[in-house]
Amino acid sequence: MTRTLPSRTMDAALTAATDPARLRLAVPNKGRLLEPTVALLRDAGLAFEDGTRSLVARVEGFPLDILSVRTEDIAEFVADGVADLGVTGTNLLAEAQADLPVRLELGYGRCRLEAAVPNDSPARTLADLRGFRLATSHPNSAREGFASRAIPVEIVPISGAVEVAPRLGLADGIVDLVSSGSTLVMNGLRSVGELLSSQAILIGARAPAPATAHIASELVTMLGAVVAGRRVKYLMMNAPRSALADIEDILPGLESPSVIPLAHVDMVAVHAVVGAHEVHGLLGRLRSAGASGILVIPVEQLLP
Ligand code: AMP
């Protein structure tokens, strides 16, 4: 793995710039994971300067320094102890071959590491790729994906334009990260299977530094509350008391809903937390059961 600055210079610069009593969190300084990571930290109530301008940003009122570094270096920084925690992708952790604990799944940056072949290839499944030459810029995770399925393939590491490798005669197929699959289609390629499913993750040290372990736990709780909040909605509605049993049957909430008497005799307000993906299917049914004035409200943070 290559870093932009020689490893020791970078480590020394980062270590000198931070205080050992403060927790160090490494985050991507550019690319797909940058914006959603900054949004997550801000949603957790952390105030800091735009990390793209400086290597280290201090968080106000919380003992945390944010180190903005290259996405592909983050697992290594955490493994080396330069950072206590890091935001990276499941695929990047696998690629770094760093055996580090995942403290939290962050729910964004979702993609899949897939194997794909030209449309006219006879291969239909991963097992059909036995003996194939596959070009990829994710050689370690690709090798691991095939080894764990006992499918022998030849991995051809290349650094860019992986999709054109079969057309150039460099390989019989490719292994690449896919989200919608449109890049594969545009290049006349067809997926034959998924090797790894990835999302942004918060990784930690194998042995957390004692001086900052409690801050790390607090940060994990804070970020976990934001991630959990994003998965749910708060529903509020009014209903005749006689409709309550039907409404309770419809609501899949975390716990039983709150039922609050209203000034009008025989009317109640019903409040419940439901899965964000469930709301769509609930509204019509709640209306039919007698609910009115239904409000769907975002939840900033949730601590179950
Ligand atoms: P970057 O190359 O810096 O934009 O970041 C790439 C990382 O973003 C990958 O290693 C994945 O963890 C994640 N990611 C999410 N969706 C995709 C996608 N469609 N293609 C490539 N990487 C993705």
Compute, in degrees rounded to 10, the torsion defined by CA atoms 68, 142, 102, 303: 90
Which ligand 1 atom sits nearest the alpha carbon of residue 198? 12
pLDDT at 1 over 60: no
Nearest CA to ligand 1 atom 1: 31
Spacing, Cα 124 to ligand 1 middle (Å): 25
How far apart (Å, rounded) are the C-alpha atoms in residues 295 and 92?
A: 40
pLDDT of residue 2: 44
pLDDT tens digits, one per residue of 207-216: 999 999 999 9
The model's confidence at residue 7, banded by pLDDT at 50, 70 and 90, is low
Spacing, Cα 102 to ligand 1 middle (Å): 18
pLDDT tens digits, one per residue of 90-136: 999 999 999 999 999 999 999 999 999 999 999 999 999 999 999 99
Nearest CA to ligand 1 atom 23: 111
pLDDT of residue 169: 95
pLDDT at 53 over 70: no
Using CB atoms within 10 Å of the CB of residue 134, give its burial: 0 to 12 exposed, 13 to 18 middle, 19+ buried: buried
Pocket test for ligand 1, best of 111, 174, 197 (most atoms within 8 A of CB): 111
Nearest CA to ligand 1 atom 9: 89
Q: Count other Cβ atoms within 10 Å, centred on residue 53.
A: 9
What DSSP state is assigned to residue 163? G
pLDDT at 164 over 60: yes
Read off the pLDDT of each residue in 14-24 and give the average, rounded to a whole number.
Answer: 77
> Ligand 1 pocket, 281 CB below 6 A?
no
